Amino acid sequence: MLLNSFIFLLVFIIICSFNLYVATLLLIIMGLLNTGHDQTNQQKDIGTALKNGKEILFQGFNWESHKYNWWENLESKVGEIAKAGFTSVWLPPPTHSFSPQGYTPQNLYSLNTNYGSEHHLKALLAKMKQHKLRSMADIVINHRVGTTQGRGGIYNRFDGIPLSWDEHAVTSDTGGLGNRKTGAIFQGFPNIDHTQDFVRKDIIGWLRWLRHNVGFEDFRFDFAKGFSAKYVKEYIEAAKPLFCVGEYWDSCNYRGSSLDYNQDSHRQRIINWIDGTGQLSAAFDFTTKGILQEAVKGEFWRLRDGQGKPPGVMGWWPSRSVTFVDNHDTGSTQAHWPFPSDHIMEGYAYILTHPGIPTVFYDHLFEWGNSIRNQIAKLIDVRKREGIESRSSVRILEAKQNLYSAIIGDKVCMKIGSASWCPSASHTQWELATSGHNYAVWRKQ
């Protein structure tokens, strides 16, 4: 600022002296300085939402949403979603797909899908922006369905559509002529070879289009363990979304059908992925989900690790932990790994009062009845009013068979489980903020 003021003063003096040539040169230099400053500010915008710690995400769809004119349906609910206190809405994949749910993409530049037309999508995004809700695009770039049979009779060519790649864009271990995968294979489909320069250039162009032309502000990376995290870093740096989260879904550690108490190696793998993105992306906390849905069955001792901290990614890196109870894969009609339905509110009482970045699933807010919706809304209200953030401290008071209790950020006390419990009588400053079946939350008077 001082430098710019000095240059302006010099320009004024020179103009007064009628030396317009020198004045023009100084104005050009000042423009270059300002451009550099603007670029620096824009770079800082990457991951802005990670830094403020106040994010509350809403997953705005389930596995069957493609059947119901979804963009129009969601547009009618935007006001209610915003009023509930959410900051970002995770939408299903926005581009053309071989399957109706959107997770087998084909023409990446077509916004006409089973969820609705391009017109209705853009109307939804515009309304979300009016209500200060960010839109999160579901980015499916691990695999892609070809249009034409290529080498080996496999549909591994993409002729006749934008990004018309040949077999070199497909990894050699999934039927292409590219290099080997840099992550896990998604079976049954051509997996994209992110080691190819032309592939990454095209993906970056597409992500920038989604970000700046279509209007998405946040990204969710599907099947993130399918390709190296360093490419996610490259894509984030190029497209500059405000918030990113990766689906690094790895199996928890089991002994037979019994979940191990110690899940350190599981959460470490997720943390390694976050590190690989240059810490630019958060990740869904599958460790916390796996432990929490066993704990609510009467094993609340699981919710305190050997160091007295929360046992998931939340306990080690809360600002990058995106917590959730269920989603379109684990719950909904797929139910691959569902949370016990009679303990849903204990799950939300935990994630909405604890550090990390909590996510609420569409079904629970809009399809499980008014009682569940109102209870979730009250928990969100407590979180916002009492200033619980992704980095808030946790002091675990109890973690035993039928009881878990903790103080979060010194302003909120909570308990879940069937055991009767309330804050110590010596702590008379606590007042009940909200409660329900097997959970209660207190705040300081």
Using CA atoms, how far apart are residues 392 and 373, in angstroms rounded to an integer? 25
C-beta separation of 211 from 166 below 8 A: no
Q: What angle do CA 423, 429, 435 make, to 5 degrees?
A: 50
Q: Report the pLDDT value the prediction gives residue 379, as an integer from 0 to 100.
A: 98
C-beta separation of 166 from 202 below 8 A: no
Return phi, psi of residue 108, to 5°.
Answer: -70, -15
Q: Does 118 fall in a domain? A: yes
How many domains is the chain partitioned into structurally? 1
Q: Does 42 fall in a domain? A: no
Spatial strand order in the sheet of 394-400: 394-400, 403-408, 412-416, 439-444, 430-436
Q: Does 215 fall in a domain? A: yes
Using CA atoms, how far apart are residues 418 and 297, in angstroms rounded to an integer? 10
DSSP code for 224 = G
Q: How many residues does the chain have?
A: 445
| C-alpha dist (Å) from residue 110 to 93, 148, 201 | 11, 18, 19
The tokens 């270059």 sit on which residue? 32
> CATH no. for residue 125?
3.20.20.80
Q: Does 322 fall in a domain? A: yes
Residues taking part in catalysis: 222, 247
Q: Report the pLDDT value the prediction gives residue 19, as an integer from 0 to 100.
A: 46
Q: Does 123 fall in a domain? A: yes
Q: Report the pLDDT value the prediction gives residue 429, as an integer from 0 to 100.
A: 87
Q: Report the pLDDT value the prediction gives residue 30, as an integer from 0 to 100.
A: 39
Q: Does 438 fall in a domain? A: no
In 10 A of CB 431, how many CB atoms? Answer: 10
Q: Helix 286-295 to helix 344-351 angle, to the nearest 10 degrees? A: 130
Q: Identify the three-state secondary structure at position 285.
A: coil
Pairing between β-strand 357-361 and β-strand 412-416 as defined by DSSP bridges? unpaired
Q: Report the pLDDT value the prediction gives residue 51, as an integer from 0 to 100.
A: 82
Using CA atoms, how far apart are residues 288 and 325, in angstroms rounded to an integer? 9
Reference 324, options 301, 367, 357; nearest CA is 357
Q: Report the pLDDT value the prediction gives residue 443, as an integer from 0 to 100.
A: 96
C-beta separation of 440 from 415 below 8 A: yes
In 10 A of CB 360, how many CB atoms? Answer: 27
Q: Which parts of the chain register pLDDT below 70?
A: 1-45, 47, 425-428
C-beta separation of 302 from 252 below 8 A: no
C-beta separation of 261 from 251 below 8 A: no
Question: Which range of residues forms the domain containing residue 139?
Answer: 48-392
